[in-house]
């Protein structure tokens, strides 16, 4: 399936200080994670990686080969994966525990709660293959709920990077952050649009494009679809603000409030259940501080299914076209 190409560099109001570049090849965020780990491993001898029988597909294979003494193969045992991680952290290590998000944190929420979060151990939980874009494996493997389940845990931070380069930065940032962290990403290769110069900070959202009619606040690879939606809306005379929001917890309240004050409508976009994720976090915050109408794009309390990733994204309304349609409807009201 092909999608219509828009020249995103022609978007009006692009934030120059974001140093975006739309002429890059597609890459998977998980590769960004794997590549960053090798760099981190060289710099910091306390970085360890544990994996539950998914070494290649979570892209920790390079780390495993480079630092075999700091790599731990856990087998298909996610409860043990995170609790061994808590043990490693208890003696000063910075363990990255990786699996598919459906299994970790999907299977081991209580262990993460007690032995990592309440215990305040410096463990980095990595959920790969999240979202419907996992594709043909179907709903069992398409984690959609873990942003909510991780976000509700005190001490835990939740990061969903948008592209390969940002994933590299996010991996380094959560390693530096002292405390439990959850980072999630999808399976497929997705467009790269950030560069080395693009800022990334835990707790910070980036305004990629200024606008005034509607604010599109997205997280993960769907941020690119939000930019595509803005291009479609631009053709229709609607000026959308686009915010890249990788840090779901802590939330960049200042930037969200700025968007709410400037735009009449807010649309949140995430490849996750609409309950409790990015949309949940933003509606909670705005309803207490600056009541704003928020439309949440995400999974509407249902499971995914098998299919081609692009087909599924279209089917469940995650494409730029679908986002633009919703935005247009709101702006017309």
Partner 1 sequence: MSNKFKRLTSIRDLKLMADVIREDIIISLREAKSGHSAGPLGMADILTALYFNILKHNPKKPNDKNRDRFILSNGHTCPVLYATMANAGYFKKSELLTLRKLGSRLQGHPHRAALPGIETTSGPLGCGLSQAAGMALVFKREKTKQKVFSIVSDGEQNEGNHWEAVLFAAKEKLSNIIAITDRNYIQIDGNTEDVMPLDSLKKKYLAFNWNVIEINGNNMQQLISTLKKARNNKDKPLMIIAKTLPGKGVSFMEGDYRWHGKPPNKDEAQAALNDLHKKECLERGDWYHLHQKLKPIHKKIKRSKK
By CB under 8 A, is residue 232 in contact with partner 1?
A: no
68 vs 199 by CB, closer to partner 1:
68
Q: Which is nearer to partner 1, 33 or 71 (CB)?
A: 71
Pair 282, 256: CB distance under 8 Å: yes
Candidates 9, 26, 110, 289: give the one binding partner 1 (CB under 8 A): 110
Tell me how far, at minimum, the Cβ of 48 lies from partner 1, in Å.
8
Q: Between helices 253-262 and 278-289, what is the axis angle to 10°?
A: 70
Cα distances (angstroms) measured from residue 50 to each of 37, 145, 266, 272, 329: 12, 23, 39, 25, 47
Q: Give the SS3 label for residue 159.
A: strand
Q: Which is nearest to 29 in space by CA: 161, 157, 174?
A: 161
Nearer to partner 1, 85 or 298 (CB): 85
Catalytic positions, written as ranges: 78
Subset of residues 83 to 102 that bind partner 1, contact rule: CB under 8 A = 83-93, 95
Q: How far is the CB of 18 from partner 1 (least distance, A)?
A: 39
Measured CA to CA, the distance from residue 286 to residue 284 in angstroms comes to 6
Extract the tokens encoding 111.
């262990």
Part of the chain binding partner 1 (CB under 8 A), chosen from 74-82, 173-181, 227-235, 274-282: 74-82
Q: Distance between alpha carbon 302 and the CA centroid of its chain, in Å?
A: 20
Residue the block writes with tokens 């070494």: 55
- Out of 56, 118, 254, 302, the only residue in the binding site for partner 1 (CB under 8 A) is 118
Q: Which of 44, 120, 195, 306 binds partner 1 (CB under 8 A)?
A: 120
Report the distance separating Cα 3 and Cα 321, nearest Å: 9
Contact between 69 and partner 1 per CB under 8 A: yes
b/e map of 158-197 (b: 16 or more CB within 10 Å)? Answer: bbbbbbbbbbbbbbbbbbebebbbbbbbbbbbbbbbbeee
Q: Which range touches partner 1 (CB under 8 A), out of 75-83, 134-142, 143-151, 267-275? A: 75-83
- Residue 69 C-beta: closest distance to partner 1, Å: 6
Contacts with partner 1, 290-319, as mask; x by CB under 8 A: ------------------------------
Neighbours of 213 (CB within 10 A): 18
Q: Are 162 and 220 in contact (CB under 8 A)?
A: yes
User: Is 80 an interacting residue with respect to partner 1 (CB under 8 A)?
Assistant: yes
268 binds partner 1 (CB under 8 A): no
Candidates 106-114, 185-193, 242-250, 316-324 — which segment interacts with partner 1 by CB under 8 A? 106-114
State yes or no: residue 39 binds partner 1 (CB under 8 A): no
Does position 104 interact with partner 1 (CB under 8 A)? The reply is: no
74 binds partner 1 (CB under 8 A): yes
| By CB under 8 A, residue 283 contacts partner 1 | no
Cα angle vertex 111, ends 109, 115, to 5°? 130
CA-CA distance, 159 to 174, in Å (whole number)? 9
Q: Which of 115, 166, 206, 295 binds partner 1 (CB under 8 A)?
A: 115
Asked if 72 interacts with partner 1 (CB under 8 A), we say yes
206-209 vs 157-159, strand pairing mode = unpaired
Q: Which of 79, 149, 192, 245 binds partner 1 (CB under 8 A)?
A: 79
Closest approach, Cβ 76 to partner 1, in A, equals: 9
The helix (H) or strand (E) run that includes residue 165 is: helix 164-176
What residue ranges bind partner 1 (CB under 8 A)? 69-70, 72, 74-75, 77, 79-80, 83-93, 95, 110-111, 114-115, 118-120
């Amino acid at each position: 399936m092909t999608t219509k190409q828009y020249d995103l560099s022609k978007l009006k109001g692009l934030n120059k200080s974001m140093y975006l570049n739309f002429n890059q090849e597609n890459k998977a965020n998980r590769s960004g994670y794997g590549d960053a780990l090798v760099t981190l491993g060289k710099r910091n001898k306390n970085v360890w990686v544990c994996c539950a029988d998914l070494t290649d597909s979570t892209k920790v294979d390079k780390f495993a080969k480079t630092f075999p003494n700091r790599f731990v193969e856990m087998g298909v045992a996610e409860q043990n994966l995170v609790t061994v991680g808590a043990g490693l952290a208890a003696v000063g290590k910075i363990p990255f525990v990786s699996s598919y998000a459906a299994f970790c944190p999907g299977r081991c929420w209580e262990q993460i709660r007690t032995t990592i979060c309440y215990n305040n151990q410096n463990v980095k939980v990595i959920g790969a293959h999240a979202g419907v874009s996992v594709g043909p494996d179907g709903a069992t493997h398409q984690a959609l709920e873990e942003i909510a389940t991780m976000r509700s845990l005190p001490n835990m931070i939740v990061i969903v990077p948008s592209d390969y380069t940002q994933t590299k930065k996010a991996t380094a940032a959560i390693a530096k952050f002292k405390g439990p962290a959850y980072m999630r990403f999808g399976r497929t290769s997705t467009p790269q649009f950030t560069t080395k110069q693009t800022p990334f900070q835990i707790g910070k959202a980036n305004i990629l494009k200024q606008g005034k009619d509607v604010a599109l606040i997205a997280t993960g690879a769907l941020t690119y679809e939000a930019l595509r939606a803005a291009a479609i809306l631009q053709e229709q005379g609607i000026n959308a603000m686009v915010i890249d929001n990788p840090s779901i917890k802590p939330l960049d309240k200042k930037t969200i409030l700025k968007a709410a004050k400037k735009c009449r409508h807010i649309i949140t976009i995430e490849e996750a259940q609409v309950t409790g994720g990015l949309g949940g976090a933003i509606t909670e915050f705005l309803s207490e501080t600056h009541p704003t109408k928020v439309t949440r794009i995400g999974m509407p309390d249902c499971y995914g299914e098998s299919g081609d990733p692009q087909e599924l994204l279209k089917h469940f309304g995650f494409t730029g076209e679908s986002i633009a349609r919703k935005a247009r409807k709101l702006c017309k009201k």
